[in-house]
């Protein structure tokens, strides 16, 4: 198996969403019209999060 820092994965998702919103703005598409999105990035990867803090308990596996 491979381990990856879950915060790194989350950061890349945020960055992708930000760049997508910027591109939609350049195309004069109102992002407030977006009702839902789907994100798929790691397929079978598992991360366990602390319910209270939201922090990952261990690396993504």
pLDDT digits 0-9 by tens, 2-61:
899 999 988 998 999 999 999 999 999 999 998 998 877 667 888 999 999 999 999 999
Write down the pLDDT at residue 44: 83
**E strands of 1-61, at which residues?**
none
Write down the pLDDT at residue 48: 94
* Domain residue ranges in the chain: 1-61
Of 46, 41, 43, nearest in space to 12 by CA:
41
Alpha carbon distances (Å) from 10 to 21, 26, 38, 58? 17, 25, 14, 14
42 neighbors 60 (Cβ within 8 angstroms):
yes
Write down the pLDDT at residue 42: 67
pTM of structure: 0.72
């Amino acid at each position: 198996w491979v381990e990856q820092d879950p915060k790194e994965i989350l950061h890349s998702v945020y960055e992708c969403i930000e760049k997508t919103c910027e591109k939609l703005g350049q195309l004069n598409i109102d992002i407030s019209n977006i009702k839902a999105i789907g994100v798929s990035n790691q397929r079978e990867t598992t991360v366990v999060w602390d319910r209270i803090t939201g922090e990952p308990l261990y690396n993504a596996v």
